[in-house]
A and B are shown apart, each in its own frame.
Chain A
Amino acid sequence: MALLEAQNASIDFWAGPPWARRAVHALQNVDLSVEAGEVIGVVGESGSGKSTLGNLFIGRLKPTLGTLTYHGKPLASIPRRERAGRFAAVLQHPKWSLNPMMKVGDSVIEPLQLLGKAGSSREQQQRVGEILERVSLPGNYQYRYPHELSGGQRQRVSIARAMITKPEFVLFDEAVSALDVSVQAQVLNMIKDLQRDVGFSAIFISHDLAATRYVASRIAVFYAGKMVEDAPSGHFYETASQPYSKGLQFASGLLDNPDFELKLGENTKVITGCSLNDRCPLAYDLCKRESPPLRHFDQGLRVACHLNEE
């Protein structure tokens, strides 16, 4: 049984001032499961619904339609106390990843305290020291305040905090995006090592395809709230078939076929047919009429595009 599984999940938001409310379909009919120990990379442009997906899997948002199950049971039905320690998140902004008013050590130990397993303050300090060293920071950094650390160091502290309960599932939402490239590589390495040791499952959200390639075993591509491709990492980076996936690869320099240059545009307007049809270089008349279903292929590959039929 999958650790976490979204079935036909949709999430809508209401946006705009009260007198001009409109619905934003941030996530539409998503089927996606995360197996134990699996890291799924989620890519897509800004506003494509990646964070919304992450929030769904972490239980911060409930699906408007469809379900999200954890070990087969709806996640929403599991009380907060039972979820504690099993989930963790490392988010985007190094500046805000840690409570500026709390010492680093207090932030790191908090998840364990919430579980009631932190032990004496001696033990706490020792634990924090160990886990900080695990993320290549000196143990005595626990006595510092976040503003005394650099952005990269703070992200490492966030990772340490996420790891301290040995969680089952970790959400990385643009966890390295704000860091310098050299720091990024170190942090990515660390995440990969930790994943191997701790064995958590993860959703790794990034708009940087090179970063996801490094840590993820599967890649899910989102566009305007829909999953347009879900492919094993190897397949995705070698022979991605979805035109939008190729567009993203071109944009991050992994592909040099200029046919797939993405015209950045608005992707919130309602489009009949394939939601990509106004931007896709390969669009043809069928694309204007019908939305392509997500088709299943070998090795768990799933693609939504009229050009991928058998």
Chain B
Amino acid sequence: MLFIAARLGLAALTIAGVATLVFFGMRLIPGSYADLFFPLASEADREAISIEYGLDGSALEQYILWLGKLLQGDFGTSLVTNKPVIDEIVQRLPLTLELGFLALMIIAFIGFPMGIISGMFHKKWTSQVGRHSSTFLMSIPNFVLGSLLVYAFSVNSLGLKAGGWAPLSEGLMENLKYAILPAFTLSITGLGLVLATARSSVLGVIGQDHILAAVSRGLSPKDIFSKHIFRNALIPVITIFAIVAGYLLGGTVLVETVFSLDGVGRLLVNSITRRDYPVVQIGVILTATAFVLTNTIADILYGIIDPRVTEKNDG
């Protein structure tokens, strides 16, 4: 229990750190909001604008004010659209979340089995293919793959759409037509990582004495697989999976750019260039929270499965 509380405390501390960093990082950007959008306004007008948007006073005062509101659940208003930040984000969240979810599915149902297979057939060509393809998958920047797909599918679409979006409300099939390519693009690095991890943990398990013993006891390959290999390969994969899941939300920026999708990632990029402080701040905090929470949950689950973890953490 104490272990869980301590983990959650650490998570909260990390998120607070991210919030602080993004706040002051944004203030360090030269050129104020008023400079950027009302370059011709008089001193007095600018002052008025600053006050209206809560941008007057020192950065520290603004920070304290902002933090106070944040803790009360007030996420602020976009400086550009004047809409509540939370609306701006929630409006785009389904797209980004769906991409992330589909990418995770691709990783889980393609990367993991491929990794296991490539690990099981040690020293055969499958294993080598597994090894090289995982390295290869991790080496393709997702905007390169995205551009390639956009080009390839513009030549021959095969019924899929590279670019644009149809929300789920227009039917699952229609939605998937648009979602499949960007989701696959988003999954690429995680696919390689999970493949490599599953492969190496299977290889690790296969070499162990108890597997060799089980083989010599004449246990059927099916039992050996389900009782020993699969279970042991699962644990490191879960850790990696949590890390990948945490990264996905932050990784959609490029994919959304390449496929011209209006998701949270693009919103963040655009908001940085427009000095839309409130949107960037909340967006970054949310993304970081997703990352920290998936990792914390994985940590806690790990601690429950393997009690040594909780004891190891002194200092």
Q: What count of chain B residues pass the 8 Å CB interface test?
A: 9
Q: Which residues of B contact A16 (CB under 8 A)?
A: 314
Provide the residues of chain B in CB contact with A18, threshold 8 Å. Answer: 6, 314-315
Can you list 17 residue pairs at the A/B interface with Cβ under 8 Å?
A: A15-B314, A16-B314, A17-B3, A17-B6, A17-B310, A17-B311, A17-B313, A17-B314, A17-B315, A18-B6, A18-B314, A18-B315, A19-B2, A19-B3, A19-B5, A19-B6, A20-B2
Closest to B312 in A: A17
In A15-47, which residues have CB < 8 Å from any B CB? 15-20
How far is B5's CA from A64's CA once the two chains are assembled, in angstroms? 31
The CA of A253 and the CA of B201, in the complex, are separated in Å by 48
Which residues of the other chain, B, contact A15 by a CB distance below 8 angstroms? 314
Residues of A within 8 A of B311 (CB): 17
Name which residue of chain A comes closest to B313, CB basis: A17
- Give Cα A18 to B5, complex, Å: 12
CA–CA, A18 and B2, complex, Å: 10
**Whole-angstrom CA separation of A20 from B2 in the bound complex:** 8
Given contacts A17-B311, A18-B6, 8 further A-B contacts (CB under 8 A): A16-B314, A17-B3, A17-B314, A18-B314, A19-B2, A19-B5, A19-B6, A20-B2
Q: Which B residue sits closest to A21, measured CB to CB?
A: B314
Please, how many angstroms separate the alpha-carbon atoms of A253 and B47 in the complex? 90
Q: How far, in Å, is B163 (CB) from chain A's closest CB?
A: 51
Instruction: List the A residue with the shortest CB-CB distance to B10.
Output: A18
A15 to B315, CA, bound (A): 8
CB distance from A18 to the nearest CB of B (A): 7
Residues of chain A contacted by B315 (CB below 8 angstroms):
17-18
Question: In the complex, A17 Cα to B6 Cα: how many Å?
Answer: 10
Cα–Cα distance between A18 and B310 once the two chains are bound (Å): 11
Task: Please name all residues of chain A whose beta carbon is closer than 8 Å to the beta carbon of B310 when the two chains form the complex.
Answer: 17
> B1-40, CB under 8 A of A: which get 1 and which 0?
0110110000000000000000000000000000000000
Among residues of B, the one whose C-beta sits closest to the C-beta of A16 is B314
Contact with B along A270-310 (1 / 0, CB 8 A): 00000000000000000000000000000000000000000
Complex alpha-carbon distance, A18 and B3, angstroms: 9
Q: Name the distance in Å between B192's Cβ and chain A's nearest Cβ.
A: 34
Interchain CA distance A19-B315 in the complex, whole Å? 10
- CB nearest neighbor in B for A20: B2
Nearest-neighbour CB distance to chain A for B103, whole angstroms, equals: 35
The CA-CA distance from A17 to B312 in the complex, in Å, is 8
B5 / chain A contacts, CB cutoff of 8 Å: 19
- Alpha-carbon gap, A20 to B6, bound state (A): 11
Neighbouring B residues of A20 by C-beta, 8 Å: 2
